[in-house]
A and B are shown apart, each in its own frame.
Chain A
Amino acid sequence: EVQLVESGGGLVQPGGSLRLSCAASGFTFSIYSMNWVRQAPGKGLEWLSYISSGSNTIYYADSVKGRFTISRDNAKNSLYLQMSSLRAEDTAVYYCAGGRGGTTFEYWGQGTLVTVSS
C-alpha cells in the first residue's frame, strides 16, 4: 500500500522557518518525481514545487520562489520542504504528492498544517 506521511507542521511566527518532511513507503520512491501542494483554510489547491527523481530538475511557484527549498533523500525515501521568511498567507495544509507522470498527483499524503501567526 502506498503511503505518504507528512510531518513538521505547526505554529510559527511571521519571518520564521520550518522544515516539512514526507516519508514514503509502498512504492519505489527513488524513481518518482515528487511535489508539494498546499491548501489554505477554506480555499483551493496551490502547487508549490516539483523535484525530479534524481533531484536534477526543480521548479517552484512564484509565490514561494526564493523562500522555500525542496529536496529529497532517496536512501531514506523522504521528501522535504524547507520554508523560510514565512508569512501569514503561507498558512495552509501542506501535502506531498506524486505519481507516475510526475506532473499529476496519483498519491497524496494526509497533509500537515502550517500556521503562521504571532
Chain B
Amino acid sequence: EIVMTQSPATLSVSPGERATLSCRASQSVSSNLAWYQQKPGQAPRLLISGASTRATGIPARFSGSGAGTEFTLSISSLQSEDFAVYYCQQHNNWPLTFGGGTKVEIK
C-alpha cells in the first residue's frame, strides 16, 4: 500500500497570502495525484487530478505540481472560502490512498 504523507498538519495563513501544501508518496505514483478540499459538514470537492489538471469550475488560484513522490498544492491568494482541510490522494495503484490532510486556518 502506498502511504501518503501531508505536511504541515495545520497551516496558518492570512487572507490574500499564498499557501503551499505538500504531499509525499512512499513510492512513485507518477503524476497520478489528486487534491480535494473539504469544509466542515460537507463532502470533499475535487480540485486537481493528474497532479496539475484543475477540475471543472476550480479557480485558477489553485495550482498543483510535482511528479513521482513529491507534490505541491498552491493557493496563490487565499480567499475566505479557501479555509478548509485539503487532502491528497494517489490514483496510481490499488488500494487508492489518501493523505492525512492539511488544515488551512486563518492566521
Contacts and interface: CB of A to CB of B under 8 A. Distances in A.
A105 B44 contact: yes
B71 interface: no
B100 A105 contact: no
Size range of the chain B interface in the assembly = 20 to 34
B49 interface: yes
Contacts, number: 55
A95 B91 CA distance: 18
User: What's the dominant secondary structure at chain B's contact region?
Assistant: loop
Interface string B40-61: 0001111001000001100000
A104 B91 contact: yes
A44 B101 contact: yes
B95 A45 contact: no
Nearest to A95: B43
A106 B91 CA distance: 13
Contacts of A26: none
B91 A44 contact: no
16 contacts: A35-B96, A45-B101, A46-B98, A47-B95, A47-B96, A62-B1, A62-B95, A95-B44, A99-B46, A101-B91, A104-B34, A104-B46, A104-B91, A105-B44, A108-B45, A111-B43
Closest 3 CB pairs of A and B: A108-B43, A103-B91, A47-B96
